[in-house]
Amino acid sequence: MLLAAGDARPLGSAEPRLIFGDQARRLLLLDEQPAFELSHWCGTCQFLFQRLEGANDSLSLDELQARLSAGLDDLDDKVIRSVGALLEQGTYLPLLLSVQPRLTLPGRAGDYFSDEQVSSWGLSSTWGLPEYPATAYYRTFDTKVDDGTHLFEFVVPMLPPAWNDAAKVAEHAEELVSSDRPTAVAVSTLDVCQPSMANQSTDYFAHWGLTHFLLDGHHKMQAAAEGARPLRLLSLLSLEGSLASPEQVGLLPRLRSQPAVRRQSR
């Protein structure tokens, strides 16, 4: 569910902790170290987020913890500016979402990379296997863009859920029993990918991958998944960091307001 959407706005710091690397590979870097490899620039290769060794820290801001625990009802400018100071300078679309996460393990039931992606691209021509994200992640929402296009939404932790403190997860689980307002925070990308040819495909269509890289709220997100509870997510979507046009990014508020629709593989 979309709770609020703002206008795309400039944010960022001259000394950011997170940047999108403009190299031969698309990368998300944390403190100058590669944290995630992202979908290839060509747009015809498979959609990807793959955890690298640099994804080893959260970006929680102590001064925001009370505010985020109480939860956001709208796009709080102070919170946006504080989180924006962690990011590289650029244009960001702020979204406040309600999500109900489902913890997903690579190769297990519900894994996008073993299911929907294989139906469009087939197995890796190099390894003969599905793409591998090298992390547990959360699936939160799917919907139809048009007859030939589908949106898939993911929340990707900067730290593996197995590293979370069980006592803190339990504490947040109690909070989520009585309220869906506690809020996690993410920097996000929209990657639009479509196979170049349909001859390897059993279900040929364009994949829009909306990926929220979790900055704050790792324990909240795990608690929500384990208890099948909703929580809120403040997303700052990077236009420069996305593999999508501004027009495609501009459709996200409408798409995120639609009912969830699971694509039926053909």
Q: Which residue has the tokens 């390897």?
A: 200
Q: Which two tokens stand for residue 244?
A: 């999508």
Would you say 210 and 112 are in contact if contact means Cβ atoms under 8 Å apart?
A: no
HSE, CB side, 13 Å, CA atoms: give it for residue 72. 26
Predicted pLDDT at 6: 97
Question: Virtual CA dihedral for 20, 89, 235, 18, nearest 10 degrees?
Answer: 40
Q: How far is the C-alpha of 98 from the C-alpha of 4, rounded, in Å?
A: 10
Residue 151 confidence (pLDDT): 98
Position 129, amino acid: L
For 143-206, the DSSP string reads EEEETTEEEEEEEEESS-GGGS-HHHHHHHHHHHHH-S--EEEEEEEEEEE--S-STT-SS--E
- pTM for this predicted structure: 0.96
- Lookup result for tokens 């590979």: 25
Strands 90-99 vs 9-11: parallel, antiparallel or unpaired: antiparallel
Q: For residues 16 and 137, what is the distance between their CA atoms, to the nearest angstrom? A: 25
pLDDT score of 197 = 77
pLDDT at 264 (0 to 100): 76
pLDDT of residue 199: 63
For position 125, what pLDDT does the model report? 78
AA identity, residue 109: A
- Per-residue pLDDT of the chain (266 residues), as tens digits, is 999 999 999 999 999 999 998 777 899 999 999 999 999 988 889 999 999 999 999 998 899 999 999 999 999 999 999 999 999 999 999 999 999 999 999 999 999 999 999 999 999 878 889 999 999 999 999 999 999 999 999 999 999 999 999 999 999 999 999 999 999 999 999 999 999 876 667 899 999 999 999 999 999 999 999 999 999 999 999 999 999 999 999 999 999 999 999 987 66
